[in-house]
Structure 1
Amino acid sequence: MADTLELDALWEDFHRVVNMTSAELAAWLRVRDADEETEALPEESGTPTGRHVLAILQKRRTDLTDDDLRVMRKVVDTVGELADLENEPQPVSTPEDTRRRHRLMTLGHDPLKP
């Protein structure tokens, strides 16, 4: 388990990059997995990482596990690599921009959200 200062910094970084609420993320994960004929069960919607982010958002800091911390680090790193946090929000203008936005939203970060 991380020390208190490291945990505090990770908690803040995670909640800075994950700018979607748990309700917004849950809805996005359901929409993302729905198609014309079927829709996944809510608890099975989205990627494993997206579901884990949703679970973390519903936890208190004191309830985090080592696996939660691993996922939080991964999300902070991935969002940092994919998102230009300094220059957001940006319009989604190309299919590549849309794919990037959808990938970020699966991690709880909507680049168009202020």
Structure 2
Amino acid sequence: MTAPLDLEKLHADFSAAVNMSADEIESWLTTDSSHVVGWKGANGDRPESVGHASGRRIVQILRKRRDGITADDYEHMRKVVGFVRRHSAQRPENVYTSRWRYSLMNWGHDPLKEDDK
């Protein structure tokens, strides 16, 4: 059983973790690089990686009005925040063309945008 979600904090954490716009994510997901990373099942039998599917879901969430976000959306937002936090901590030396960066971008986070701050 998961703990009750603090929706205000979760929304703030999600907004901080997802630093790409819906249009940027959608455009990224059409690239070959976005398709070469991620888990596609134990036998590689999924047509799309979990992260790629998550990116499509993030686009949908970003395009919703705040009052239209469902409990399932908030649960996905929680997963996104966790993924971005865990994987951001594993930063490699080569960020620019790394599978690490591509995976994070599938989840709506471009680590190079952090470097611009």
CA contact (8 A) 1:22 1:57 kept: yes
Q: Percent identity of the aligned residues?
A: 43
After superposition, give the CA deviation of every residue in 1:13-34 in whole Å (9 maximum; x if it has no partner): 001010001111010001134x
CA contact (8 A) 2:95 2:101 kept: no
State TM-score, norm by structure 2: 0.70
The total of aligned residue pairs comes to 96
CA contact (8 A) 1:92 1:98 kept: no
**Which runs of no fewer than 5 residues in structure 2 stay unpaired?**
36-47
1:1-114 equivalent positions in 2, closer than 5 A: 6-31=6-31, 32-33=34-35, 47-84=52-89, 93=94, 98-114=98-114
State TM-score, norm by structure 1: 0.72
**How far does residue 8 in structure 1 lie from its aligned partner after superposition?**
0.9
Tell me the distance in 2 between the aligned counterparts of 1:50 and 1:81: 17
Alpha-carbon spacing, 1:92–1:59, altered in 2? closer, same or farther (3 Å) = farther
1:29 partner amino acid:
L
Tell me the distance in 2 between the aligned counterparts of 1:14 and 1:54: 13
Alpha-carbon spacing, 1:94–1:79, altered in 2? closer, same or farther (3 Å) = closer
After superposition, give the CA deviation of every residue in 1:64-104 in whole Å (9 maximum; x if it has no partner): 111101110000001000014xxxxx786279x71110110
CA contact (8 A) 2:22 2:62 kept: yes
